[in-house]
């Protein structure tokens, strides 16, 4: 995932700091946890696209 993110940032004309991907990793874990909570709150075990969009 880091290489794809780096490519997107490079395409946008930005460089990436050494600690940028550690922060991105933490944020991704948080997003996944939130999506799982929303799916469970709706009685599902399957995380769907809209669980990330709330």
Q: What's the pLDDT tens digit per position in 1-54?
A: 888 999 999 999 999 999 999 999 999 999 999 999 999 999 999 999 999 996
pLDDT of residue 54: 67
Query: Considering the entire predicted model, what is its pTM?
Result: 0.79
Query: Cα separations (Å) of 26 from 1, 9, 23?
Result: 13, 18, 5
Neighbours of 38 (CB within 10 A): 17
């Amino acid at each position: 995932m880091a290489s794809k993110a780096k490519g997107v940032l490079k395409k946008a004309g930005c460089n990436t700091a050494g600690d940028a991907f550690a922060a991105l990793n933490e944020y991704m874990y948080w997003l996944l946890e939130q999506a799982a909570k929303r799916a469970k709150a709706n009685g599902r075990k399957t995380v769907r696209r809209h669980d990330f969009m709330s």
